Amino acid sequence: MDTGRLVWRLARAGSRALAVVAAAAVITGCGAGHGLTPDPDSSGPVVTTTTQLPRPAHVVVVIFENKDRGQLFDAAPYLRSLAAHGANFTNAHGIAHPSQPNYIALFSGSPQGVGDDACPQDLGDRPNLAQQLIGAGHTFAGYSEGLPAAGSTACSAADGRYQRKHSPWADFSNVPTSSNLPYTAFPKDLSRLPTVSFVVPNMCHDMHSCPISTGDSWARQQLPRYLRWAQTHNSLLIVTFDEDDKTKANHIATFLDGPMVRTARLPQLIDHYSVLRTVEQMYGLAPLGLAARAQPLRGWVKSSALPR
């Protein structure tokens, strides 16, 4: 096992002293870097937690593409301002390259054996966040910009800007087709939002095929309406990236904003499983797959927002 993965597994297991030793080995050995890869067979311990979290009325998760955290904030003033206002996780990482395994992992707790961007994927009735939420009496929708039609299982749109590889709910047979929606269906009346929504911009607006400035402009146009409403409606925004620009460290931006979120820079080592674990814990859902071995996000909640 390379030292980067050793650091990661030890940190995930909560062994701080051993993680320090392993980190020293990285620094003095072959060089730093997390070397994160899909690891569905990890034998790390299940993490129990007493972390208290609020239960937002709504959560919107927005996923951008392929930018290193530092690279992003150098060129995205609007997103940088959101991160500075909210809870900014400075040590967040994707779990793989290329894109698709990251989306599937964030949605289901595992890459499900997918290691590339091939489409279509048929993941059947394997457990996933949408299935969990709906089974518990909540609601879910994935809003994909450029999706050809509601419920479409097409691998791409005619213009290439929609790609199913970024919409993992389309791969699971136990997610209703009514949960697979174009971004044009994002409600004008925000009180009609599902409990949890994923928003996937198109291949230009997510920064995959266009400059960071284009994605930042899209965010400046699209996010403020929800954020203003969220402040008075107990709702949460999570912004993250699938992966960085193909480095071993896979260092991405992840930040939260909403009325229950305190302004903070938080150094907790996190990945997509940590984000999934957090959403699941907020709604009393059992953590899926490798989310069971991840700590939920810590330190982001105002004390006044914690359950009494």
Same domain, 284 and 240: yes
pLDDT bin (cut points 50, 70, 90) of residue 306 is confident
Same domain, 137 and 71: yes
Per-residue pLDDT tens over the stretch 3-45: 344 434 444 444 333 333 333 333 333 333 333 444 444 557 8
3-state helix, strand, coil in the chain (%, to 5): 35, 15, 45
Same domain, 27 and 168: no
pLDDT at 209 over 80: yes
Q: Domain count for the chain, please give it.
A: 2
Query: So what's the pLDDT on residue 10?
Result: 43
Query: So what's the pLDDT on residue 3?
Result: 37
Residue 11 lies in a domain: yes
pLDDT at 276 over 60: yes
Per-residue pLDDT tens over the stretch 49-74: 878 999 999 999 999 999 999 999 99
Least trusted range by pLDDT, from 1-10, 141-150, 152-161, 179-188 = 1-10
Same domain, 2 and 104: no
- Average pLDDT, stretch 75-85? 98
Distance CA 163, CA 157 (A): 7
What H or E segment, with its residue span, contains residue 92?
Answer: strand 87-93
Query: So what's the pLDDT on residue 43?
Result: 58
Residue (of 128, 253, 135) closest to 198 by Cα position: 128
CATH number (domain holding residue 118): 3.40.720.10
Query: So what's the pLDDT on residue 49?
Result: 81
28 or 154: which leads in pLDDT:
154
Query: So what's the pLDDT on residue 91?
Result: 98
Domain, as residue range, for 4: 1-33
Residue 42 lies in a domain: no
Sheet-wide strand order for 180-182? 180-182, 140-144, 196-200, 58-64, 235-241, 251-257, 87-93, 264-270
Same domain, 171 and 269: yes
Per-residue pLDDT tens over the stretch 132-144: 999 999 999 999 9
User: Considering the chain, what is the average pLDDT of its residues?
Assistant: 89
Distance CA 221, CA 139 (A): 26
Q: Which residues face 256 on adjacent strands?
A: 87, 238
38 or 153: which leads in pLDDT:
153
Least trusted range by pLDDT, from 16-20, 161-165, 271-275, 292-296 = 16-20
Residue 47 lies in a domain: no
